[in-house]
Amino acid sequence: MRRALVILAALSVTACGGAPPATPTQGAGPTRVNAGVIAIVDTAPIHLGKAKGYFAEQNIDLAITPVQGGAAAISGAVSGQFQFAFANTTSLLTATQQGLDVKVVTNGVSSTGEQGKDFSAVLVKPDSPIKTAKDLAGKKISVNQLKNIGDTTVRASVRNAGGDPTGIEFVELPFPDAPAALQSGRVDAIWVVEPFVSQARSQGARPVAWNFVDAAPDLTVAMYFTTGKTDADLTKRFTAAMTKSLEYADAHPDEVREALKTYTKIAPEVIAQIVLPKWPVAVNKESVQTIADLAAADGVLKEKVDVSALVP
């Protein structure tokens, strides 16, 4: 067990002030853009793309403002604080159902699609009687946010394994607190993403489900979005810069790991070993519809959602 993993620092996700709202400058000057982005592994491409100058190429002066999560990103975008932001699929589906004016502009992050090698997993203690996802039925499982993509995909894992997920008790715990809660017996299992998957495994935790992989092939986990307040030309330029950023990140994992050192507090030795997600440019619309249908069936969404309203 490596001490560096045990004492892994939490990600720096506290909200802070950012650049003022985007205002096209006179003449050939760049457009100032404020993007609300969670400071986690998933968002490496936008940081890497800014460093590579891809946004400057599109005449965009990009400020990246850390936010606590998808809810803060969505509220910030709707209020006009952010011109673009990053949120997970379920948060965006919920916003759409609530009638909020959000539109996806590009993919954000995707599952690797590989059992045993993804950046999201459900883990148990090494001596736990839980051996497979089916055994999670009726157990107490931590998620970072209730009624979101975590419990929806965990339920999918249980169903796929032949279990009944209706009796699962989900407990809301921030990802950094989950490994300790598992060790203390506060919960029977934890759902976490990297770097906390690696942290928990270094403490002996054993994965029993790869929930993003189980939920849908090549799952689109999160996306970048905007609102009707943002003009079409700026959206086109931002999307072009993000496309280049996603392509570069997906093809250069070593540079992604270096970028993580600039905006997170993950220890370098941890960064070297975590499983990175995938960053395809295209949204897997079918997987988004699958999450929408699962969330509606589980009561996370009030009714079924046609994802065409969210993903053009």
Mean pLDDT for 108-121 is: 98
Cα gap 177→135, rounded to integer Å: 23
pLDDT in tens, 259-310: 999 999 999 999 999 999 999 999 999 999 999 999 999 999 999 999 998 9
Q: For 182-202, how does the pLDDT look when each residue is reduced to its tens digit (9 = 90+)? A: 999 999 999 999 999 999 999
Which tokens in the block code for residue 218? Answer: 């090549």
Question: For the residues 46-56, what does the mean pLDDT come to?
Answer: 98
Asked whether the predicted pLDDT for residue 4 surpasses 60, the reply is no
Among 181, 218, 176, 215, smallest CA distance to 197 is for 176
Under 8 Å between Cβ of 263 and 12: yes
pLDDT digits 0-9 by tens, 14-24 = 333 344 444 44
pLDDT of residue 23: 44
Q: Report how far residue 207's alpha carbon sits from residue 190's, in angstroms, rounded to the nearest whole number.
A: 9
Which residues does 251 contact at the CB level (< 8 Å), separation at least 6?
A: none
Residue 170 pLDDT > 80: yes
pLDDT confidence tier of residue 28, bands split at 50, 70 and 90: low
Residue 12: strand, helix, or coil: coil
- At residue 144, does pLDDT exceed 60? yes
pLDDT in tens, 71-102: 999 999 999 999 999 999 999 999 999 999 99
Give the per-residue pLDDT at 312.
Answer: 81
Residue 266 vs residues 43, 149, 201, 257, 278: alpha-carbon distances, Å:
14, 23, 16, 10, 19
Per-residue DSSP letter, 277: -
Q: Does the structure show a pLDDT above 60 at 142?
A: yes
**54/124 Cα distance (integer angstroms):** 42
pLDDT of residue 17: 37
Query: Could you identify the residue written with the tokens 């496309």?
Result: 243
Instruction: Kindly indicate the confidence band of residue 13, based on its pLDDT and cuts at 50, 70 and 90.
Output: very low
* pLDDT band, residue 9 (cuts 50/70/90): very low
Phi, psi (rounded to 5 degrees) for 232: -65, -40
Q: Which two tokens stand for residue 36?
A: 């609300």
**Residue 176 pLDDT > 60, yes or no?**
yes
Cis-peptide, bond into residue 195, ω within 30° of zero: yes
